[in-house]
Structure 1
């Protein structure tokens, strides 16, 4: 797969992903975002700017998307000046956003009717991982397209999993986030109980790292955010976390699973947003669990 690579959506995760792509892929990279500032910063790495989606699509063999919501994805793809109206047969579109499974499969069918190949490749891990190029990427695509995309994805991630056909990447990503959020709720509950029972929280979490409660969520979200009550803005916010969880709950409904644990996490995230912490790093949900803080 030769030709320029387009990158649409240069936000918290998209900007460092695009930077790594430009530094490593050996191909021209053309970016587009409604905000000019990230394009100005990326120019130092050789990223060219497109005036609009039409101009970007005209120059690129493959277009990558990193968008904040299903609504943004629909506008970029199906809006009046969107990619459905501008991409050509033989081009490839890769959605690296976290998107609803049903919408992913609908858009894939619409693009494939135009002979534009479509893959979903949502990402996991932190902004630091995006900067370091060590993201986990979960891909839904046929075998041939996955093989073609792998070198590009490897510029941004170190753990690239082929999950199955289109939509499968979103299934795996949404369930990953669902489990992570439920786990952080459990750690937050344990921490609140321990403190009120006279046990130091740092001791509790350290003991967990040496026992069966150990996990990535504990060591990163629990020990680096929940324990020190450190929830910065410009990170993966409670608003975005609830958006992903709502997509997972929609998938649960479609498959007939009640997902009661996920529903609890959703209610707690809703309360977090209502109390004014929606823009903070999402483990701030622990403040709702321990109302005394």
Structure 2
């Protein structure tokens, strides 16, 4: 049985590993360049075809992944004369792997449906290392028939695939997931600063928390920056984290939810971005909160 041609828009930190795994599984893959040619060139060497535009990619692919930074970027590759909606064939499927605003997702799903194109939202759980290993989580929102079509392709890059219901449910769950993750980041940053202000060392903090029930996978990657100064431990920018928290606020408003804790978390990320540190990574919030408390970054003379 011939495998469908798969398109991939957004071969960045996460997308490059995902696309490589699609190739390894034997699917014909079409990619398109954006700002950084290196990942595109690497995938072409591995057997991918490079399209000259979004329109060209959409016209030749049956299943199209989008993996960009947020809803404005998703909307830009979907709309217009050169976008996916105007050029993909009826019967094709678009999978949005970005962390997007569910309100926008539902609007795009209606747009695609009017053209006979199916849509799924399948935001990711995990890190770029998981993308390379093919061990991401996938939170999928789509109808049962579309899910059956795309599950084998998603299985190329994810080993934990959760079908949560119709379109939009994946993005809603992803935002709630990121609320928990970014809440952990803010809480750990503040707790470490408080410990240091109280005369406890970060090593003592880690000796207790790192051997307790409060240790988890997020704790381990977050702490690698503070303990080892490993900037590659969790390559997720403050700007992206702040964007996700704004999307979650929009979701809370749309469903009438009360979310005072999330508002405080969002403001932590907003403050760090406003201070010109949006391109730093989430674990580096520990340094930002430390500085607010008059403390030097871990390992520097205070």
Q: Counterpart of 1:242? A: 242
Q: Counterpart of 1:275? A: 275
Q: Counterpart of 1:29? A: 29
Q: Counterpart of 1:208? A: 209
Distance in 1, Cα, partners of 2:84 & 2:182: 33
Deviates more, 1:96-105 or 1:52-61: 52-61
Distance in 2, Cα, partners of 1:271 & 1:3: 45
Q: Counterpart of 1:120? A: 121
Aligned-pair distance for 1:268?
1.2
Aligned-pair distance for 1:15?
1.4
Which digits, 9 at most, give the CA deviation of each residue in 1:72-106, with x for residues without a partner? 11110012311111112111111111110011011
Q: Is the 8 A contact 1:234 1:280 kept in 2?
A: no
- The 1:31/1:234 distance shift into structure 2, 3 A limit, reads farther
Q: Counterpart of 1:62? A: 63
Which digits, 9 at most, give the CA deviation of each residue in 1:174-198, with x for residues without a partner? 1100111111111111111222222
Q: Counterpart of 2:300? A: none
Segments of 5+ residues of structure 2 without an aligned counterpart are 297-302
TM-score by length of 1: 0.93
Which digits, 9 at most, give the CA deviation of each residue in 1:234-291, with x for residues without a partner? 9211011111111111101111223222211211112212333211112222223212
Q: Does 1:134 align with 2:135?
A: yes
Aligned-pair distance for 1:121?
0.3
Deviates more, 1:68-77 or 1:192-201: 192-201
Distance in 2, Cα, partners of 1:109 & 1:226: 45
Count of matched residue positions in the alignment of Structure 1 and Structure 2: 291
Give runs of aligned pairs for residues 1-293 of structure 1, distance below 5 A.
Answer: 2-24=3-25, 26-35=26-35, 36-221=37-222, 223-231=223-231, 235-291=235-291, 292-293=295-296
Distance in 2, Cα, partners of 1:209 & 1:234: 18
Aligned-pair distance for 1:217?
2.0
Distance in 1, Cα, partners of 2:289 & 2:260: 17
Distance in 2, Cα, partners of 1:217 & 1:261: 19
Q: Is the 8 A contact 2:221 2:233 kept in 1?
A: no
Distance in 2, Cα, partners of 1:232 & 1:18: 21
Q: Is the 8 A contact 2:136 2:159 kept in 1?
A: yes
